[in-house]
Structure 1
Amino acid sequence: MRTMRTISSLSVSAVVVALASGVAPSPLLAQKQVLPTAVAPIDSADPVALMVARLDLEQYKTTLKELTQFGDRRQGTKRNRDAVDWIEEQLKSYGCTNTERIVYRYEPPTLAERPATPPPAATPPAAGQPPLRRVGPPATQASGGGRNRGLRTRTGVNSDSLLQPDPILRALNAEPSAPGERQEVYCTKIGTTHPEEMYIVGAHMDGIGWGEAVNDDGSGTALVMELARVFSNPDVQTERSIRFVLWNNEETGLNGARAYIEQRQQLQGIEEPKGSGKYPEPKWLGMIQHDMMMWDHGMPKADGTIAKEQRAEADVNIEFQISSKMWKASSELAWALHQANSKYATDYPAQVGPHMTNTDSGPFQDIIPAISLRENERGTQTGNGWNPHWHQPTDVWATFSDKDFRLGLNAAQTTLGGVGRLVGATLKSVIKM
């Protein structure tokens, strides 16, 4: 179980000011504080706390397990299309019945998918942005703008079907990707006071590597579906809207997220029909992405192996991109979720980092506040081989333990708590008269 942690009395905005000035925040904010006390009981007067309590480890695991029936869900295949249909059915069963789809075409240069590229090199801050700083001793910059820590192992995308020892799974994943039409599904919790404004909560449902894409990104897909389930309960009200999106084509270059922006950005805040109080595309207040939520076992050992158990200091990484046009507002959103983690997560703490990269929040980062929740720092830890199952045949259900699944659940608690506060969530049974 997670022990209670304290937070400095400084506000989130004070942390952002400290970051912007290049001065490290208070150690109480920059470091995890561990006290030998029990987890506080649920505050029955806090509707967000009651909603977070509706998240359940076994339910999260069940949703994730059911996703494995579609193999790696590679885009451009029947198994991917079947998974989109299944996700839509589940969303409707939760009460999120206003499901819609983005339809677009993906035409790669060749029939063969291009493998995922390594994270890009660090991008210097633009004029007027703060210098890249960190708390603690100096360290070298690594790919993606992160910090080089310890040993590295090779990473890449598996394209060899024979490396998958399970013949049933190997056969399921045998159909190659073909160019053409793509679809991705979303549904919306409509706000009662400001339906014209919304937060976007997303994860990508496609995967690669000849496994089951359990962690990348079934773990994020199940998380977003669980949030949709809780927020769609009929006794939940929110002042602002929330859109739950399951992106497609992330692995080929964030194409699904880019298609959404291309088709929907200009429709923001337009009432349709006039006078109806309905907004097919509410104004975007922020985008929160979830991509690989469960594996934080530490850096490779000297022999290149990785610990089999989740490390004791595992955490939920919340990242924004310091070089983006919206870096300041994005950092405020990141720290808001960090604060929610401190209040609502049960086991694992959160850590904020300024080097978001290579996921579906990227196309949004110069338009609106955009952040990504994940298991590791993308640019250094994942890029340096801390996760040996990334895009590999071993990204299957049997690889992960309850400690891993619980890290994903804690990310769900973090986002639900943060978004619940941001949208003014209440429960009808506890609305104060």
Structure 2
Amino acid sequence: MSLRSAGTIALAVSFAFAAQHAGAQQKAEAGAGADPVAHLVGQLDLEKYKATIKSLTRFGDRRQGTERNRQALDWIEAQLKSYGCSNTERLQYQFTEPAVRGKPAVQAGGGAGGPPGQGGSTLFGRRAPIGVNTDPMLQPDERLRALNAEQTPQGTSLRENVYCTKIGATHPEEMYIVSAHMDGIGFGEAANDDGSGTALVMELARIFSAPGVETERSIRFVLWNNEETGLNGASAYVAQRQHLQCIESPPGSGRYPEPKWLGMIQHDMMLFDHGMPVPKLDAAGKPVLDAKGQPVYTAPREQRAEADVNIEYQAQSKQADGSARLAWAFRAANDKYATHYPAAVGFHMTNTDSTPFMDLVPSISLRENERGQQIGAGWNPHWHQPTDLYANYSDQDFLLGLNAAQTTLAGVAQLAGARVKKK
């Protein structure tokens, strides 16, 4: 627990990450028989997590409706199959591209991606500008600018989500949904939003699909499309499949194409918790002023010592009580199994793919910051910008995402009844 103190976390910056993982792996292997959750958490690896994010950035910002988006879906599906997730499927839906997506000031708690008023909290403090970059020329990298050149075609066309399922050995008719969105915008690489969440879900699919790993209940790993246009991929899934829950098909087969939803866990932006914006300084160390003579604020350069994994539920939802219990169960899992960063629970979940589920099943989201109070106040300057690049994140940032993975893996493993067969 001493590692969680602010001073020790700051000191941990100088640790060798490979050595840290080796120690965690040895501990997990030593206790595999007694604690299968510790064993599974020990299979998470910082370099593998980073490599998956890096591979996703090969497809640029993966903007929905484009060829680079379709290629990313194909790659994700191939990776899931290579992990042993052989029942990989796609859900298709029709989407109509709106005339305009995103104005320069997408305010916390409203805008595209969630019903107005569900952000709930307002930051009383410094704010930095937020918005969606729609100018490709703000991307200085010519190679990346060319990769992201294709825009979403106007009109109605086919979109797809991709998912695979770990079938429960005892209760295949019940499942937890673990998800992230794979599309992005902003003419960058969408490394954080939401390559970091996509890679997290893929890593969990890899570990739960490994030989010898069993769960009592099913787990579905879903990568949504069209999050950036208003949660359309997740909404299409709810519309098509909510009424199919727990229906055996064919009757007597013991197969449930859509098991009963027990909980929905979304991951959206996992890497950047650098703290409240600070005054931007010029070369002489003086505050930079805007055209009105007011200080310009920007995010600190390094991950803050108080960085944490934010677990949020929506207090206004019909499933608020169950969602709160789910959030605190994940907080407890973080306390026991995460290695570096603690977790904090909040009740203003909004603007993420768990929103379409939140009145139907206990739903939570894991993020780097509170969506309404912090991300919406400009705590992440790379959000929807050309600077959302793999190269702009440090190992401290990636480690925050890995700790979120540890949190979800541990929480889901406990809830789904995971066990590891001895070799």
TM-score by length of structure 2 reads 0.87
In the TM superposition, what is the alpha-carbon distance from 1:234 to its structure 2 partner? 1.6
Of 190, 195, 211 in structure 2, the residue corresponding to residue 213 of structure 1 is 190
226-235 or 143-152, larger mean C-alpha shift: 143-152
Of 340, 344, 364 in structure 2, the residue corresponding to residue 347 of structure 1 is 340
Deviations 1:211-262 (A, max 9, x none): 0000000000000000000000021000000000000000000000000001
- What corresponds to 2:245 in structure 1? 268
In the TM superposition, what is the alpha-carbon distance from 1:298 to its structure 2 partner? 0.5
Q: How does 1:1-20 map to 2 (within 5 A)?
A: 3=2
Q: Is the 8 A contact 1:203 1:246 kept in 2?
A: yes
What secondary structure is seen at the aligned counterpart in 2 of 1:196?
strand
Q: Which runs of no fewer than 5 residues in structure 2 stay unpaired?
A: 12-19, 112-116, 281-296
What secondary structure is seen at the aligned counterpart in 2 of 1:48?
helix
CA RMSD of aligned residues (A): 2.4
Deviations 1:332-370 (A, max 9, x none): 000000000011100100000000000000000001000
- What corresponds to 2:284 in structure 1? none
Of 384, 388, 394 in structure 1, the residue corresponding to residue 387 of structure 2 is 394
100-109 or 408-417, larger mean C-alpha shift: 100-109
* 1:233 maps to 2:210: yes
Of 81, 85, 88 in structure 1, the residue corresponding to residue 70 of structure 2 is 81
What secondary structure is seen at the aligned counterpart in 1 of 2:383?
coil
What secondary structure is seen at the aligned counterpart in 2 of 1:317?
strand
- Aligned equivalents of 1:109 and 1:381: distance in 2? 28
- Aligned equivalents of 2:144 and 2:110: distance in 1? 35
Distance 1:400 1:218, change over 3 A: same
In the TM superposition, what is the alpha-carbon distance from 1:117 to its structure 2 partner? 4.0
- What corresponds to 2:136 in structure 1? 161
- What corresponds to 2:351 in structure 1? 358
TM-score by length of structure 1 reads 0.85
Q: How does 1:344-423 map to 2 (within 5 A)?
A: 344-423=337-416
- Aligned equivalents of 2:135 and 2:422: distance in 1? 54
Of 235, 245, 263 in structure 2, the residue corresponding to residue 258 of structure 1 is 235
* 1:144 maps to 2:119: yes
- Aligned equivalents of 2:220 and 2:124: distance in 1? 36
- What corresponds to 1:203 in structure 2? 180
- What corresponds to 1:61 in structure 2? 50
Q: How does 1:187-198 map to 2 (within 5 A)?
A: 187-198=164-175
- Aligned equivalents of 1:147 and 1:353: distance in 2? 13
- What corresponds to 1:92 in structure 2? 81
What secondary structure is seen at the aligned counterpart in 1 of 2:373?
helix
Distance 1:374 1:86, change over 3 A: same
Q: Is the 8 A contact 2:60 2:68 kept in 1?
A: yes
What secondary structure is seen at the aligned counterpart in 2 of 1:352?
strand
Distance 1:5 1:310, change over 3 A: closer
Moved over 3 A (4+): 2-6, 38-44, 112-117
- Aligned equivalents of 2:404 and 2:341: distance in 1? 8
Deviations 1:4-59 (A, max 9, x none): 569xxxxxxxxxxxxxxxxxxxxxxxx9x99x9x9994433100100000000000
- Aligned equivalents of 2:387 and 2:238: distance in 1? 33
- What corresponds to 2:199 in structure 1? 222
The number of residues matched between the two structures is: 384
Q: Which AA in structure 2 matches 1:397?
A: Y
Q: Which runs of no fewer than 5 residues in structure 1 stay unpaired?
A: 7-30, 123-141
Of 152, 159, 171 in structure 1, the residue corresponding to residue 146 of structure 2 is 171
Q: Which AA in structure 2 matches 1:428?
A: K
* 1:331 maps to 2:324: yes
- Aligned equivalents of 2:329 and 2:4: distance in 1? 16
- What corresponds to 1:127 in structure 2? none
Q: How does 1:305-320 map to 2 (within 5 A)?
A: 305-320=298-313
- What corresponds to 1:299 in structure 2? 276
In the TM superposition, what is the alpha-carbon distance from 1:108 to its structure 2 partner? 2.8
- Aligned equivalents of 2:327 and 2:102: distance in 1? 32
- Aligned equivalents of 1:295 and 1:109: distance in 2? 30
Q: Is the 8 A contact 1:60 1:409 kept in 2?
A: yes
Q: Is the 8 A contact 2:110 2:119 kept in 1?
A: yes
- Aligned equivalents of 2:41 and 2:121: distance in 1? 31
